[in-house]
Amino acid sequence: MPLLSPSAMSRKARTDREQIITIAVELADRRGVEGITLADIATRLNVRIPSLYNYIAGLDDVRRGVTLLVLVRLGDTLREVVAGHSGDDAVRALAHAYRAFAHEHPGWYAAVEAAPRYMDAEAQAAGAQPVQVVVSILAHYGLQAEDALHAVRALRSVVHGFVSLEVHHGFGLALDLDESYARLIDLFIRGLHAGQNGNKRQS
Amino acid sequence: MPLLSPSAMSRKARTDREQIITIAVELADRRGVEGITLADIATRLNVRIPSLYNYIAGLDDVRRGVTLLVLVRLGDTLREVVAGHSGDDAVRALAHAYRAFAHEHPGWYAAVEAAPRYMDAEAQAAGAQPVQVVVSILAHYGLQAEDALHAVRALRSVVHGFVSLEVHHGFGLALDLDESYARLIDLFIRGLHAGQNGNKRQS
DNA sequence: CTTATAAACTAATATAGTTAGTTTATAGCG
DNA sequence: CGCTATAAACTAACTATATTAGTTTATAAG
């Protein structure tokens, strides 16, 4: 007896695994990857917990699937938003979209943050679209090979750092967050421009 | 019967709570705040688990205590390191010390990251020394009231963003991390200088 | 109709934390 | 010195979680 519709019977494990991951992704949207429980998934499917093991290897397997899916969705979102922009505009658009994603889906963003815990480097490569988007943007700044990669890390750090602190309520003061973020991105852009001639460190 | 030494008998709850937190901090250094277990603490004290409840309200209470203590230690470390430096030097010293702390004590750094989960805003204020250190540094840049606070958030974002990604192995490429970090901090400093006259955003 | 098997189930185990209620040891007092 | 209140330990029991083993059931295919 398959999990729901008794339609096709052969090699259906793939389908039902996706069903489980889909439900897990919904749960994760509210409670984060760590908040996923097999009990909730089983209830949603009107099935007992052990039945799930016919399709998944365990909870961590579910979390891995969720992480991958979320990474892909973030990558898609960023790519769409950035399309049509370039230079400073592209950086601002990306920064805004990244933050918006975290606001709209805190649980999913938690999955992005915890991604390395559940996926090894190779598996992550499959969902590394976010990085690719950043690389393509910074290419327009005329940054050479290694310089570009260091810049990618810088942008990731800046954007992730702020958003991470924000969604975890790490900023205590009553000071406008939109303003802080806009200034941070501008500061990053200024730094990028100021470094274009003479990118080497002074000390 | 007190947890260990049958010395003073009255109001010893404070003492034994500190004993528990101390052990928990040691455990957290290796496995993070989330990795603390009452079982481990009880074993270390040669006591059964429920006995701990005479001194703590539960696991989250322990985590709260650990978080507070770690926050204070980080604050102390940063303050010591920054003392004697000013301007760009102070920023670099702080950035370096912050990252070093995360490297030497990954578990403690996890507590710093998760701090808002276990402590409300008021409780965090008690361990908000790190922020105070940053404020004092940026005062030397001639930043006015709000500008300074936005700049504090920027520095926190930059430093935390990179370190967080690094310790969670979020950087996939085989590219020197020290170099990336140094460039990021320089980029931040450049941006700070470039923004000194005309700090307002253009759009 | 038979049979092989996918897919569900029940039962049991392990590890967590937590609560209730009981026992024990001892500090302080008469 | 002995009584008593109480701090502080204990055992027992319960919850929720994941996981594994072994059994039953339904059905697709021959």
Q: What are A86-138's pLDDT values in tens digits?
A: 999 999 999 999 999 999 999 999 999 999 999 987 777 777 777 778 888 88
The CA-based diameter of chain B, rounded to the nearest angstrom, is: 68
A123-161 per-residue burial string, b: 16 or more CB within 10 A, e: under 16? bbeebbbbbebbbebbeebebeeebbbbbbbbbbbbbbb
Structural tokens at position A172: 């205590």
The answer to whether B134 and B148 are in contact (CB under 8 A) is no
Please state whether strand C lies within 7 Å of residue B9 at its CB atom: yes
A173 touches strand D (CB under 7 A): no
C-beta of residue A161 within 8 angstroms of C-beta of residue A99: no
Cβ atoms of residues B74 and B130 within 8 Å: yes
pLDDT value at position A183? 98
Q: Using an 8 Å Cβ cutoff, are B161 and A164 in contact?
A: yes
The per-residue pLDDT for B130 is 77
User: Residue A182: which residues within 8 A CB-CB, separation 6 or more?
Assistant: B201
Report the amino acid identity of residue B115.
Answer: A
Neighbouring CB atoms inside 10 A of B75's CB total: 17
Measured between alpha carbons, how far is A191 from A178 in angstroms, rounded to an integer? 20
Mean model confidence pLDDT for chain A: 87
Residue nearest to nucleotide C27 (CA to C1'): B9
Query: Rounded to whole angstroms, how far apart are CA atoms B33 and B30?
Result: 9
CA of B39 to C1' of D11 (A): 16
For position B141, what pLDDT does the model report? 84
| Disruptive mutation site among B85, B164, B183 for chain A (greatest number of A CBs within 10 Å) | B183
Residue A116 tokens read as 């390395």
Identify the residue whose tokens are 């701990």: B52
Q: Which of B11, B100, B104, B114 is nearest to B67 (CA)?
A: B114
Which DSSP category does B120 fall into? -
| Sign of the four-CA dihedral A152, A154, A160, A166 | negative
The answer to whether A135 touches A147, Cβ cutoff 8 Å, is no
Residue nearest to nucleotide C6 (CA to C1'): A1
**Which has the closest alpha carbon to A181: A91, A118, A116?**
A91
pLDDT of residue B12: 45
- For B201, which of A168, A175, A182 is closest by C-beta distance? A182
Residue B146: closest C-alpha in chain A: A175
In 10 A of CB B144, how many CB atoms?
A: 8
Contact A91, A137 (CB under 8 A): yes
Q: What is the pLDDT along chain B (203 residues), one digit of tens a residue?
A: 566 544 333 334 455 899 999 999 999 999 999 999 999 999 999 999 999 999 999 999 999 999 999 999 999 999 999 998 999 999 999 999 999 999 999 999 999 999 999 998 777 777 777 777 888 888 888 887 889 899 999 999 999 999 999 999 999 888 999 999 999 999 999 999 987 654 444 43
Q: Within 13 Å and on the Cβ side, how many CA atoms surround A175?
A: 20
The minimal CB distance from B157 to the residues A153, A172, A184 is found for A184
Question: Which distant-in-sequence residues (6+ apart) come within 8 Å of B119 by Cβ?
Answer: B64, B67, B68, B127
Beta carbons of B152 and B138 less than 8 angstroms apart: yes
Cα A160 to Cα B187: distance, rounded to the nearest angstrom = 16
B154 sits within 7 Å of strand D by its CB: no
The DSSP output letter for A175 is -
Q: Which residues of chain A have pLDDT under 70?
A: 1-15, 196-203
Q: Which chain A residues are closer than 8 Å to B128 by Cβ?
A: 172
Q: Which residue of A has its CA nearest to B170?
A: A116
* Cβ neighbourhood burial of A57 (10 Å; 0-12, 13-18, 19+): exposed
